Each structure stands twice: as structure tokens, then as C-alpha cells.
Amino acid sequence: MTDHQSPSLTFTDFGAADAAAFLAPPQPGDDKYSRGVLGVMTGSSSFPGAALLGVEGATRTGVGMVRYLGPGRATRMVLQRRPEVVTADGRVQAWLIGSGMAAEGRDPSVTAALIEVLSHGHPVVVDAGALDLLEHATGPVVITPHAGELLTLLSSHGISTSRADITADAEHWAALTAQLLGVTVLLKGHLTHVVGAAQAGNSADRALGPAVRVTAPTTELATAGSGDVLAGILGALVATHHEELDADDDGNGGVLARLAATAATLHGLAGERASGGGPIVALDIAHALPATIAALRAR
């Protein structure tokens, strides 16, 4: 526990029925652009695989198009496996940034590109190695830290806690972070906690909510790259729901929080389907997404 006050929120369970509401198929009048284009700036020479994992998560969730902009080796890996991905710059409706990057030692040109993305005003999913750049965001942001990444983020704001504390009291720390930073928080773990936050206002009077909890249906999700796939799933959902996000005027980031909880739910159910009781690798989660989405739509 901690001395830092967090808003008193009541967390409710978010499950398959809630997620199904955000998984409708495209409409007859849709095309790839109207469905939504996701820009992805992820991966590095140290972690090129994270780029592919996020792109697989996004494309298997269903999205009009993915534009991947990253380092050469990661780009080659992405294109080799997913020739559908466009690697030219252009218009997007949402961004996914930071997976497979490390804030420390990040190339200045990469930092500048990430800051430019954040300053465009599009919704952005911010993961791993871009979490230090939140102050540059001008549009809605959802962050996807695990407890260790949240610890680093909070210490950069002068808040000292521990990884164990964050895990033990995830509701508190997710709510405190949402209130402090004005971003929707998806705090990963066996239980994933999501708190929506209004961008506007300051930490003293910021509107928060909804606050929801997603329980993982399998512990096999605890494997390298699993979170990179989750970030891709969320990126696709944000891109394909950009119009609902634009119209979200309830002042507390409600749509973004529900999309985040949908991503965690889908990720868990796909992992469970892929596992069938046995071990999985991260790509298995991505591959199980279409059948998982079909099952949720059929409910």
C-alpha cells in the first residue's frame, strides 16, 4: 500500500459479452480506408521481433490497413511475413508506438519521430519504450505498461513505489496513474486493470472512469512477446473505432477504456484457444484471434 491518494473507484469485471460489442464485422459500404488505418512505429535493432508480433496482433484482429514505419531489419521481417503491410508513410487514424524499443539509448531520430506521432492528435497506444514521451501527446492516449514499466513511469514523476507494491495493489496504481497523467491506463498482469481518464483538466479534478478488470483465462499468456501482440490488438481496435472515439464526449475516455478492456479480453481468450491446456508462443495468440473473434460474434 502507499501514501499516495488515489481516487476511489469501483472496478467491475469486463468479459466476453462486453468485448463482443466492439467486434462487429465491417459494413458492406466499408473499404480499407473507412475501416481504419493503423500506423505502427515499433521495434528496434535489439527487438525487431516485437514489431512483427504487434503487426500480427493488429492484422489478425482485423483492420483496414497497417502502415509500419520502423528500422530496416524489422521492416524486412514484417514484410516477409505480412506482405499486406504498407511501409510507406501516409494518413492513419490511430498509432501504436513503443513496443520493442527501450527509452534508454533510443536513437535521437527515433525519439523525434515518436514525438511527431504523439503531437498529431490521433489516438495513440503507447507501449514499452515510448512511455517516457507521454508529455508530447495532444490526442487521446492509452498506455499498456506491465508493473515494471509503470514503476519506471511513476518514478519519472517523482512517485516512489515498488514493482511488488504495484502488483499487490494494481487498482490503486492504475487509477493514480490515470488521474496523474490524463491517459487511459491498461496495467497488465494475470488480472489486467483498465482505467479511463479525461485528457482535460489537471490531476486534482480530472474525470475518471470506467474502471474495469479483465481476468486472464490462462497463465500461458506469461510468455515473451505476449504483450507486444496485445498492443497490436489494441491498436487495431482503436483504428477501427476512430469515429466512436472522436464522438466520445463523456469526458472520461470511456470508449478508449472499453476498447482496451476488449483487447485484453480478446488476447486472453485467443491465448486460451491457442493453448488448449498446453504451452504457447506469442504468435500463437495472434493466430488464434480470427477464430476467437468469430466465436465472440456468434454469441
Ligand X SMILES: Nc1ncnc2c1ncn2[C@@H]1O[C@H](COP(=O)(O)OP(=O)(O)O)[C@@H](O)[C@H]1O
Ligand Y SMILES: NC(=O)C1=CN([C@@H]2O[C@H](COP(=O)(O)OP(=O)(O)OC[C@H]3O[C@@H](n4cnc5c(N)ncnc54)[C@H](O)[C@@H]3O)[C@@H](O)[C@H]2O)[C@@H](O)CC1
Among 69, 216, 263, 286, binds ligand X (CB under 6 A): 216
93 to 36, 40, 88, 233, 244: CA distances (angstroms) = 6, 11, 15, 15, 12
User: Interface mask (CB under 6 A) for ligand Y, residues 239-278, using x and -?
Assistant: ----------------------------------------
**Lookup: cell for 130:** 515510448
The rounded distance, in Å, linking the Cα atoms of 62 and 240 is: 8
**Does residue 100 have a known ligand-binding role?**
yes
* Cα–Cα dist 203/177, whole Å: 9
Q: Select the residue interacting with ligand Y from 62, 225, 254, 271 (CB under 6 A).
A: 225
Nearer to ligand X by Cβ, of 126 and 198: the residue is 126
Choose the one of ligand Y, ligand X, none that binds residue 129, judging by a C-beta under 5 to 8 angstroms depending on kind: ligand Y
Which of the residues 49 through 108 are near ligand Y (CB under 6 A)?
49-50, 99-102
Q: Does 269 bind ligand X (CB under 6 A)?
A: no
Q: In the sheet that 191-197 helps form, which strands lie side by side, from edge to edge?
A: 12-13, 208-215, 191-197, 184-187, 141-143, 124-126, 94-97, 37-41, 65-68
Q: How many whole angstroms separate alpha carbon 118 and alpha carbon 39?
A: 12
The stretch near ligand X (CB under 6 A) out of 26-34, 82-90, 187-195, 245-253 is: 187-195
Q: Exposure of 148 by Cβ count < 10 A (0-12 exposed, 13-18 middle, 19+ buried)?
A: exposed
61 grid coordinates: 484482429
Q: Is residue 191 a known part of a binding site?
A: yes
Residue 188 touches which of ligand X, ligand Y, none (CB < 5 to 8 A by kind)?
ligand X
121 is in an annotated binding site: no
CA 123 to mean position of chain CA atoms: 11
Q: How far is the CB of 49 from ligand Y (least distance, A)?
A: 3
Residue range at the interface with ligand X (CB under 6 A); choices 104-112, 117-125, 129-137, 225-233: 225-233
Q: Is 148 in the site for ligand Y (CB under 6 A)?
A: yes
| 227 belongs to the binding site for ligand X (CB under 6 A) | yes
CA atoms within 13 A on the CB side of 221: 26
Chain residues in the site for ligand X (CB under 6 A)? 146, 188-190, 192, 216, 219, 221-222, 224-228, 230, 267
